[in-house]
């Protein structure tokens, strides 16, 4: 009956992180950003690239469970350190890969300290998987038809100030307004969320919606970000 169908739909939403049916239900319920921007270190993944000693290669991959979606590359070694996506980051990217957020694309804004740290980060992105056979980099390239719109590092023309360098360049590369963006950053080495929120606004006064992830991007922070963005409209 109608009641049982409603209860089943509710169960799918509550249980189905990776369920296509749950994502369809969720997609019709709330507006989503046109662009979701992630910081890398201590936000999307669990390590700081400037602390890594080796540029990882494919043979450094560590296989494991990808949030119940099959076995894939769940980590990659840089010397003795294993780089892995935070749980909320993996869930966010999986839901995005499934088409759960119509009209949304993703990009990265990282102020990696050195050219070497940037190399480590870019290498890890091409190895770590969102779904079996689909790397983080594959997903980024799928969103932008093979164009690299990501802003990683702080070498000129980038700087340590994401509000003054990373985000203006992302806006120029994507054509997406600041008030259609959602940004996640750990903010442990400077309050990038405050700076971007204050410095990257449209003429009407609205700008990038920001969410701090001081312990990394967890599932709760991911969900809160979507809620905060929807409330900003």
Residue range 78-96, pLDDT digits in tens: 999 999 999 999 999 999 9
Closest CA to 157 of 170, 143, 145: 170
84 vs 38: CA distance, rounded Å: 15
At residue 13, the pLDDT reads 45
**Residue-by-residue DSSP string for 22-62:** HHHHHHTTS---SEEEE-TBTTTBSS-GGG--S---GGGEE
What pLDDT is stored for residue 190 in this prediction?
82
Give the total residue count for the chain.
Answer: 233
- Taking only the tens place, the pLDDT of each residue in 163-219 is 999 999 999 999 999 999 999 999 988 899 999 999 999 999 999 999 999 999 999
CATH superfamily of 32-232: HAD superfamily/HAD-like (3.40.50.1000)
What integer pLDDT is reported at residue 30 of this predicted model?
61
pTM: 0.86
Contact assessment for residue 26 and residue 13, using Cβ atoms and an 8 Å cutoff: yes
| Residue boundaries of the structural domains of the chain | 32-232
């Amino acid at each position: 009956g109608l009641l049982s169908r409603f209860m089943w739909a509710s169960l799918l939403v509550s249980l189905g992180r990776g369920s296509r049916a749950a994502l369809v239900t969720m997609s019709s319920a709330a507006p989503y950003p046109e662009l979701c921007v992630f910081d890398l270190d201590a936000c999307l993944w669990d390590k700081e690239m400037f602390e890594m000693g080796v540029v990882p290669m494919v043979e450094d991959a560590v296989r494991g469970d990808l949030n119940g979606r099959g076995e894939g590359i769940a980590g990659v070694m840089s010397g003795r350190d294993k780089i892995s996506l935070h749980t909320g980051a993996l869930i966010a990217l999986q839901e995005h890969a499934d088409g759960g957020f119509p009209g949304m694309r993703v990009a990265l804004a990282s102020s990696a300290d050195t050219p070497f740290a940037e190399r480590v980060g870019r290498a890890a992105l091409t190895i770590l998987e969102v779904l079996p056979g689909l790397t983080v980099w594959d997903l980024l390239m799928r969103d932008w038809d093979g164009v690299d719109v990501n802003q990683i590092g702080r070498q000129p023309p980038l700087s340590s100030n994401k509000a003054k360098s990373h985000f203006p360049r992302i806006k120029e590369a994507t054509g997406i307004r600041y008030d259609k963006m959602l940004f996640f950053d750990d903010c442990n080495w400077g309050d990038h969320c405050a700076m971007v929120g204050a410095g990257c606004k449209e003429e009407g006064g609205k700008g990038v919606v920001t969410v701090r992830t001081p312990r990394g991007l967890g599932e709760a922070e991911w969900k809160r970000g979507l809620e905060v963005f929807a409330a900003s409209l």
